[in-house]
Amino acid sequence: MKNFIFLLAFSIVLAACSKVPITNRKQTNLLPESTLIQMAKDQYTAFLAEATVLPDSDPRAQRVKRVGEKIKEATESFLTSKGYAKRIEGFEWEFKTVVDDETINAWCMPGGKVCVYTGILPLFDSDDELAVVMGHEIAHAIARHGNERMSQQMIVNGVGSVLSPADTTQVSIFQQVFIGSATLGMLKYSRNHESEADKLGLVFAKVAGYDPNAAITFWKKMAAQGGAGMPEIFSTHPSDERRIADLEEFLKEIDQYIE
């Protein structure tokens, strides 16, 4: 019986393997993406019910939406042309600006629900800088890092959780993987995920017409302001020096991923 369960679980893992666009890294996603998108949508709806969001007439909200829509359109076209249309299947994009001047944060949930906080907006000296950060957050959703993290947690919890169809099990794991409601959307991503999102995010920003080199100026600016007060959004990211070096190296070859 144990051998049967092991073989069944192994078969599920094998069938769930896929590759991340651009990096071609193999990943294992056990949860149907449609299920994760619905769970994220429910959490997002609950979040909006309590949060204060800027009206569409506010210039800051218009800026976020304008940049977000450009990235969305270009990214969808790019992924479709590269044979990755399934990566955006079921996405219902929204771009909201959350009123919270004390929180330096931005995130994109599975399914394309994007929120940028007013606290981070003053850090962007240009739309290019805003675009590389939004591109980074959108990249987490496109790369299905949330599904991957949940799948890892499901494996840790045992085969039973992998095979269980119960929604309560899936929701419980969703809550384990996501940090509480105060920072909804902020997954406990690994540094490998962060580095991968950096690369995808630069491509998404570039195909949308933004200058990906803005990532270098932005992170150098962040490094100069670093220290103990580093915002939580950057807490699991690679060190400033390592990140900037990796970004500079990737920018040398970025065109080969777009052609």
Q: In this model, does residue 140 exceed pLDDT 60?
A: yes
H-helix or E-strand containing 129?
A: helix 127-142
Q: What percent of the chain has pLDDT over 70?
A: 75
- C-alpha 240/C-alpha 236 separation (Å) is 11
pLDDT grade for 77, boundaries at 50, 70 and 90: very high
Q: What percent of the chain has pLDDT over 90?
A: 58
Residues annotated catalytic, as ranges = 137
- Whether residue 243 contacts residue 219, with contact meaning beta carbons closer than 8 Å, is answered with yes
pTM strictly above 0.75: yes
pLDDT grade for 231, boundaries at 50, 70 and 90: low
Determine the pLDDT at residue 166: 46
Q: Among candidates 78, 84, 76, 113, which has minimal Cα distance to 18?
A: 84
Q: Cβ-count burial of 48 within 10 angstroms (0-12 exposed, 13-18 middle, 19+ buried)?
A: middle
The token pair at 115 is 């929120």
The token pair at 258 is 């777009």
- Averaged pLDDT score across all residues of the chain: 83
Determine the pLDDT at residue 28: 85
H-helix or E-strand containing 108?
A: strand 106-109
Q: Where are the domains of the chain?
A: 2-258
For 185, which DSSP code? T
